[in-house]
Amino acid sequence: MKIYTKTGDKGTTALYGGTRVPKYHIRIESYGTVDELNSYLGLVRDQEIDIETKELLMHIQERLFTLGAILATDPEKEKLKNGKERLNIPKIDEEDVQLLENKIDQMNEQLSIMTHFILPGGHPIVSHCHVARCICRRSERLTTLLNEQEPVNSLVLKYLNRLSDFLFVLARKLSSDMNVDELKWVPKKLKNQ
């Protein structure tokens, strides 16, 4: 398989189904940012963290490839006129969302109650996790914009939303695992008050 095809040399790329769109198209931005998130989660997974978290992150990365495939599919070509699926693409389902929710709940049970916003940082692993969370939020924003133009499976948006929550709680768990103090954000009082 050749890595370069030269078909994108003029600034277009093909969606799954064959439709060509500009590389700046919101659909490309959406799944490109999911790919960026997936790559960054690989960096988080490569850190010195527990094996269970590494395995969970690998599972999430696989789900993100599925999510990217969904976003890379031309909705016009996804189904035949009789409503049957034309393209055989994988799916995200409620169980995927539920897994994230269960993991969030399990981690939260072990953490102190949050009383303030938390400043990202404290340890490189924690910081990587916060960067991944921010990429996930950007991916969610772009996919929401895409959804306004071309409907997106609602589970895609739900999964991205829950994944950013998961990454926030994971950052807190990793802080706890590393015995790193969470820095609370306490806003300074305004001079005129």
DSSP letters for the chain: --S--STTTTSEEEPBTS-EEETTSHHHHHHHHHHHHHHHHHHHHTSS--HHHHHHHHHHHHHHHHHHHHHTB-HHHHB-TTS-BSS------HHHHHHHHHHHHHHHHTSPPP-SEEES-SSHHHHHHHHHHHHHHHHHHHHHHHHHHS---HHHHHHHHHHHHHHHHHHHHHHHHTTPPPEEE-PPPPTT-
Q: How far apart are CA 167 and CA 126, in angstroms?
A: 10
Cβ within 8 Å of residue 62, ≥6 positions away: none
What pLDDT score does 173 carry? 96
The predicted pLDDT at position 83 comes to 53
Residue 117: per-residue pLDDT: 87
Do residues 136 and 160 touch, judged by C-beta distance below 8 A?
yes
- Prediction pTM value: 0.87
pLDDT at residue 113, as a whole number: 86
Q: Which domains does the chain have, with CATH numbers?
A: 18-75+89-183 (1.20.1200.10)
The pLDDT tens digits along the chain (193 residues) read: 677 777 677 787 777 777 877 677 899 899 999 999 999 999 999 999 999 999 999 999 999 999 999 999 887 766 544 455 555 677 899 999 999 999 999 999 999 888 788 889 989 999 999 999 999 999 999 999 999 999 899 999 999 999 999 999 999 999 999 999 888 888 887 555 5
pLDDT of 82: 47
